[in-house]
């Protein structure tokens, strides 16, 4: 089993006027990576930010933090090179947004980034499966993408369990409504990369929340390795 527990605060939940400082604060509180939500107003109704801001953030907080770009955009092919140049580490695109996933995966790899592949709640995990051997991470959305603060969709957990059973060493990320109340279900299903927005970022004690989330995932990974 090659995967490990990683917690990635969703920085969209932070004070956007202080984004550099907020990212540094999350890393100091024990975050393993930063999850950056890019929305284009087409694939999802909201608009957030693009590669110029990623470039500024990278300059501000240095080379170390791992930037996981969640590209909620209708033309993911368009932004691969700009995001790589801006300092992104992983490019997570939506299966629903492209007609040629294989080509896009190749482009992302050639640009020097890791590859993430995301599916919305309405997309079956079997549609992702043919690409699982070519990607670094699968993202199972646990809310409809586009807005923060939605309720965690527990009925997405069978997708996570199925992926973990089929692809034991794959990084599997969950995103949407994940916090102390839902982390046990995510960890038991087999998720190891946990995106958490307001539960971490808006907490009075983000360090404790990150530690709690991580410990639950570590325990689930240990249990799974013992059960095998």
Binding-site positions for a divalent metal cation: 35, 37, 70, 175
Length of the chain: 228
Task: State both tokens at 75.
Answer: 């033309």
Q: Of 64, 155, 175, 205, which residue is the catalytic one?
A: 175
Sheet of 34-39: strands edge to edge? 6-9, 193-196, 171-175, 137-141, 114-119, 90-94, 67-72, 34-39
64 is catalytic: no
Residue set of the binding site: 10, 35, 37, 70, 146-149, 175, 177, 197-198
Is 37 noted as a catalytic residue in this protein?
yes
Contact in structure between 174 and 216 (CB atoms under 8 Å): no
Q: Report d(CA 27, CA 57) in Å as an integer.
A: 13
- Which residues lie below 8 Å from residue 133, measured CB to CB, with a gap of 6+? 167
Active-site choice (37, 40, 68, 171): 37
Which segments are annotated as binding site for substrate? 10, 70, 146-149, 177, 197-198
- Widest Cα–Cα separation across the chain: 47
* Residues annotated catalytic, as ranges: 37, 175
């Amino acid at each position: 089993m090659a995967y490990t527990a990683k917690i990635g605060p969703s920085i969209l939940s932070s004070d956007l006027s202080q984004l550099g400082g907020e990212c540094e604060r999350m890393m100091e509180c024990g975050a393993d990576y930063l999850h950056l939500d890019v929305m284009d107003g087409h694939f999802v109704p909201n608009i957030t930010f693009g590669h110029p801001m990623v470039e500024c953030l990278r300059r501000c907080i240095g080379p170390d933090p791992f930037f996981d770009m969640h590209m909620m955009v209708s033309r993911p092919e368009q932004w691969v090179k700009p995001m790589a140049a801006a300092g992104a580490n992983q490019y997570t695109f939506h299966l629903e947004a492209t007609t040629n996933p294989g080509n896009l995966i190749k482009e992302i790899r050639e640009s020097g980034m890791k590859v993430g592949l995301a599916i919305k709640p309405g997309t079956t995990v079997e549609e992702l499966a043919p690409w699982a051997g070519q990607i670094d991470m699968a993202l199972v959305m646990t809310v409809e993408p586009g807005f923060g603060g939605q309720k965690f969709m527990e009925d997405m957990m069978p997708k996570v369990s199925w992926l973990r059973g089929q692809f034991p060493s794959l990084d599997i990320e969950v995103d949407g409504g994940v916090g102390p109340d839902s982390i046990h279900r995510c960890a038991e299903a087999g998720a190891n990369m946990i995106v958490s927005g307001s539960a971490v970022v808006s907490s009075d004690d983000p360090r404790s929340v990150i530690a709690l989330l991580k410990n639950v995932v570590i325990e689930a990974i240990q249990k799974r390795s013992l059960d095998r």
